């Protein structure tokens, strides 16, 4: 709930600074909270664009946010000084203790201070540092099927942007660090079912290994069926209609009281139905959080609510581990964002050949043990992935361990660049070069053979002009530089661009070519309507089209095969398998052979040839 603060969000217009301990102490004194009870101390102070943010509450879990801004006569305020307005957000009300202290002391102590004086206070603190930048596309999103009711250009959406954002929590393995409580009806669990056996999803998410696992056979990553502590309130129809707060409390009683020797964080997920019927879930969870011996984290269905979910694990516990750890191994690295298992074995072998030890993997694998192991390495190597950027920010904030984020190791060229970047950061670049040459020499014959076949095939990529970042910024495509990798492998590449006018087409084309390994070899074609896009796909010489959507009739009706990011694999062996997989997709004749029987009406309903040449709907 907001307190005297209904101002619209501000556009970025100034510095963003995280105040040091001295700044926090001075801000606390100015507000009058230097001797507040322990549970209502100032924990954090930051300057954000044009105002001061102050977090107040229990250590590790502050619940009240104070905002101090330059005031005018019209500025709403909880407490006002000569030139400043203090407002708050948080638990619904300001505790009586905090309210009395701030009202009594802040107007006198802040007196004639302006907002710029508070900024200068932070800037003068030698421990003040920039706030971590969290990449965001807020305000720049293109329409998708989750954020709009099928916007006017949703027909050209092939990257499942909304679906990936909504299900990003599925991209990480949390069983080693969390226990789960989901407040929902049973059907909610079925929209994205999980099981030990592989299931077909309507979207081929880039973090899944269904396609890659086929080639790896017995070495393919497996799902561990022993997921610890998943519980649900399993709301019934009667609960939804009449309400049943007792059910929520019964489940939370059991979870909070259950033995938890590994101190796993309790992860509480509130879903759509309780929110729609107006159940006050958050206050109940807050009550149980005070009883719990471990953090109890509250999450809703929105992607934005996930931002701070892992802060206790990635920041608080990691900082504690760093403070207690001895010196790191100067030849060891942590691979952050690289899955632990057979898909990264080739990378570990390359690093070992250069005399570099992998100390720990973290993300998508999460566990307290992995966090505690992090200080043993001299370098964190991040996998470039925008979906995990907020996790990286928590992990690297105030860390003693240096960080690099080289382009991901896809293809022969990309793998070499990645290995040399890691070696360079540890002073072992020559050893890394030698390790790469030794490993590549035994794989070049298979690589070149795969490239020979790839030259016989073409692939198409369909993007809207507003989302050319999918082709220019690999962090938006799970670290995979699509154009560079496809061209290195030898595939002919065609890009179909959804544009609104010639200027937009020209600018989008320039952006796309800038990311290509061979710009002149990329074929670009534009369209501005659904029918034109369908015609472009039918006329395209490409054998396969990239689409995250598993059952994409836009592709199959054109007689093309579909592929997704799941065909791509890191490392040298992964590069060979990537090309072989995609060649296999391209040479599959089914959709070319039966294209006439796969035609669709404009509304997506199937058409079948009838006697006399007429078409009709099934």
Residue 54: HSE in the Cβ half-sphere, 13 Å Cα cutoff? 29
Round to whole Å and give the CA distance between 394 and 386. Answer: 14
Round to whole Å and give the CA distance between 270 and 229. Answer: 17
411: region left, alpha or beta (phi > 0 left; psi from -120 to 50 alpha): left
pLDDT at 184 over 80: yes
Round to whole Å and give the CA distance between 526 and 462. Answer: 10
> Given this model, what pLDDT does residue 6 score?
37
Give the model's confidence band at 237: pLDDT under 50 very low, under 70 low, under 90 confident, else very high.
confident
Q: Please report, for the chain, the start and end positions of each structural domain, with discontinuous segments joined by +.
A: 2-130, 167-306, 321-440, 448-597
Q: What is the mean pLDDT of residues 444-465?
A: 97
pLDDT at 149 over 80: no
Can you spell out the DSSP letters for 485-531?
HHHHHT-EEEEEEE-SSHHHHHHHHHHHHHT-SSGGGEEEEEE-SHH
Query: Do 489 and 458 touch, CB atoms closer than 8 A?
Result: no
Query: Do 221 and 215 touch, CB atoms closer than 8 A?
Result: no
The fold adopted by the segment(s) 448-597 is Rossmann fold (3.40.50)
Query: Do 252 and 288 touch, CB atoms closer than 8 A?
Result: yes
Percent of the chain with pLDDT over 90: 52
> Given this model, what pLDDT does residue 610 score?
53
Which H helix or E strand runs over 164? Answer: helix 161-166
pLDDT at 515 over 90: yes
Q: Is the dihedral of CA 486, 488, 494, 500 positive or negative?
A: positive
> Given this model, what pLDDT does residue 485 score?
98
More confident residue, 300 or 290: 290
Round to whole Å and give the CA distance between 112 and 117. Answer: 10
Round to whole Å and give the CA distance between 66 and 52. Answer: 8
> Given this model, what pLDDT does residue 483 score?
98
Lowest mean pLDDT among 292-296, 388-392, 403-407, 613-617: 613-617
Provide the pairing of β-strand 79-80 with 84-89.
Answer: antiparallel
Sheet holding 403-404, edge to edge: 357-362, 329-336, 377-382, 403-404
The owner of tokens 């022969």 is 412
Within 10 Å of residue 410's Cβ, how many Cβ atoms?
26
pLDDT tens-digit series, residues 461-498: 999 998 999 999 999 999 999 999 999 999 999 999 99
pLDDT at 197 over 60: no
Q: Quick check: helix, strand or coil at residue 98?
A: helix
More confident residue, 135 or 245: 245
CATH number of 167-306: 3.40.50
pLDDT at 458 over 90: yes
Q: Which two tokens stand for residue 529?
A: 């309507």
pLDDT at 541 over 70: yes
CATH number belonging to the domain at 321-440, selected among 3.40.50.1370, 3.40.50.12380, 3.60.20.10, 3.90.1150.10: 3.40.50.12380
> Given this model, what pLDDT does residue 579 score?
98
By CB atoms closer than 10 A (0-12, 13-18, 19+), residue 300 is middle
pLDDT at 91 over 70: no
Q: What are phi and psi of 31, to 5 degrees?
A: -80, -15
Cis peptide before 364 (omega within 30 of 0): yes
Give the model's confidence band at 9: pLDDT under 50 very low, under 70 low, under 90 confident, else very high.
very low
Round to whole Å and give the CA distance between 510 and 519. Answer: 9
Query: Do 359 and 329 touch, CB atoms closer than 8 A?
Result: yes
Buried b (16+ CB within 10 A) or exposed e, 347-365: bbebbebbebebbbbbbbb
Q: What is the mean pLDDT of residues 31-56?
A: 90
**Cα 255 off chain centre by:** 28
Q: Can you give 190-215 as a three-state secondary structure string?
A: HCCCCCCCCCCCCECCCCCCHHHHHH
> Given this model, what pLDDT does residue 342 score?
92
Round to whole Å and give the CA distance between 135 and 125. Answer: 26
Q: Which two tokens stand for residue 395?
A: 């992990």
> Given this model, what pLDDT does residue 273 score?
82
Are 167-306 and 448-597 equal in CATH topology? yes
**Angle, to 10 degrees, between the axis of helix 482-489 and the axis of helix 571-587?**
80
DSSP annotation of 408: P
> Given this model, what pLDDT does residue 613 score?
47
> Given this model, what pLDDT does residue 309 score?
65
pLDDT at 144 over 50: no
Q: Which of 295, 410, 391 is nearest to 344 (CA)?
A: 410
Within 10 Å of residue 377's Cβ, how many Cβ atoms?
24
Give the model's confidence band at 295: pLDDT under 50 very low, under 70 low, under 90 confident, else very high.
confident
What is the value of pTM for the model shown? 0.71
Give the model's confidence band at 189: pLDDT under 50 very low, under 70 low, under 90 confident, else very high.
low
Can you spell out the DSSP letters for 45-87?
EEEETTEEEEEEESTT---EEEEEEE--TT---SEE-SSEEEE
Q: What is the mean pLDDT of residues 541-556?
A: 96
Residue 598: HSE in the Cβ half-sphere, 13 Å Cα cutoff? 18
Round to whole Å and give the CA distance between 318 and 395. Answer: 7
> Given this model, what pLDDT does residue 305 score?
56
By CB atoms closer than 10 A (0-12, 13-18, 19+), residue 414 is buried
Lowest mean pLDDT among 186-195, 327-336, 375-384: 186-195
Query: Do 377 and 401 touch, CB atoms closer than 8 A?
Result: yes
Round to whole Å and give the CA distance between 481 and 475. Answer: 8
């Amino acid at each position: 709930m907001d307190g005297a603060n209904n101002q619209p969000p501000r556009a970025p217009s100034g510095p963003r600074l995280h105040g040091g301990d001295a700044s926090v102490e001075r801000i606390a004194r100015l507000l009058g909270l230097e001797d507040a009870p322990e549970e209502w101390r100032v924990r954090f102070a930051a300057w954000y664009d044009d105002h001061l943010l102050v977090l107040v509450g229990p250590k590790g879990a502050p619940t009240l946010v104070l905002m101090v801004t330059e005031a005018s006569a019209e500025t709403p305020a909880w407490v006002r000084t000569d030139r400043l307005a203090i407002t708050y957000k948080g638990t619904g009300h300001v505790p009586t203790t905090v309210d009395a202290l701030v009202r009594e002391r802040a107007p006198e102590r802040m007196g004639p201070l302006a907002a710029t004086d508070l900024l200068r206070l932070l800037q003068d603190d030698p421990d003040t540092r920039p706030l971590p930048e969290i990449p965001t596309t807020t305000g720049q999103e293109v329409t998708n099927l989750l954020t709009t009711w099928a916007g006017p250009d949703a027909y050209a959406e092939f990257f499942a942007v909304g679906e990936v954002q909504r299900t990003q929590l599925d991209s990480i393995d949390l069983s080693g660090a969390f226990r789960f409580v989901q407040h929902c009806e049973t059907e909610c669990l079925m929209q994205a079912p999980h099981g030990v056996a592989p299931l077909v999803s309507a979207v081929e998410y880039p973090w899944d290994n269904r396609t890659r696992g086929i080639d790896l056979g017995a070495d393919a990553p497996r799902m561990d069926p022993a997921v610890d502590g998943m519980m649900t309130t399993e709301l019934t129809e009667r609960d939804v209609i009449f309400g049943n707060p007792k059910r929520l409390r019964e489940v939370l009683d059991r979870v909070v009281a259950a033995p938890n020797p590994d101190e796993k964080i309790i992860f509480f997920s509130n879903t759509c139905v309780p929110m729609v019927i107006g159940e006050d879930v958050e206050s109940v969870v807050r009550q149980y959080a005070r009883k719990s011996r471990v953090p109890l984290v509250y999450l809703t269905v929105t992607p934005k609510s996930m931002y701070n979910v892992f802060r206790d694990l990635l920041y608080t516990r990691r900082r504690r581990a760093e403070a207690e750890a001895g010196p790191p191994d100067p030849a060891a690295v942590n691979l952050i964002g690289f899955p632990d298992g057979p898909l990264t074995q080739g990378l570990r072998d390359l690093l070992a050949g250069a005399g570099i030890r992998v100390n720990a993997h973290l993300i998508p694998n999460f566990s307290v043990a992995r966090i505690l192991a992090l200080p043993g390495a001299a370098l964190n190597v991040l996998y470039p992935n925008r979906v995990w950027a907020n996790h990286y920010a928590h992990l690297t904030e105030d860390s003693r361990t240096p960080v690099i984020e080289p382009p991901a190791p896809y293809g022969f060229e990309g793998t070499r660049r990645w290995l040399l970047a890691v070696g360079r950061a540890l002073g072992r670049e020559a050893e890394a070069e030698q390790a790469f040459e030794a490993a590549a020499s035994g794989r070049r014959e298979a690589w070149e053979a795969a490239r020979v076949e790839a030259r016989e095939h073409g692939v198409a990529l369909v993007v809207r002009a507003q989302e050319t970042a999918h082709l220019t910024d690999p962090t938006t495509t799970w670290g995979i530089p699509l154009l560079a990798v496809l061209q290195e492998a030898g595939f002919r590449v065609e890009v179909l661009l959804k544009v609104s006018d010639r200027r937009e087409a020209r600018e989008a084309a320039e952006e796309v070519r800038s990311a290509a390994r061979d710009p002149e070899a990329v074929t670009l074609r534009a369209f501005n309507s659904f029918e034109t896009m369908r015609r472009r796909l039918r006329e395209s010489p490409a054998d396969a089209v990239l689409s995250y959507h598993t059952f994409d009739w836009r592709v199959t009706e054109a007689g093309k095969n579909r592929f997704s990011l799941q065909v791509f694999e890191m490392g040298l062996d992964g590069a060979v398998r990537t090309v072989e997989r995609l060649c296999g997709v391209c040479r599959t004749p089914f959709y070319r052979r039966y294209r006439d029987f796969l035609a669709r009406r404009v509304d997506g309903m199937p058409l079948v040839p009838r006697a006399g040449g007429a078409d009709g709907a099934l």
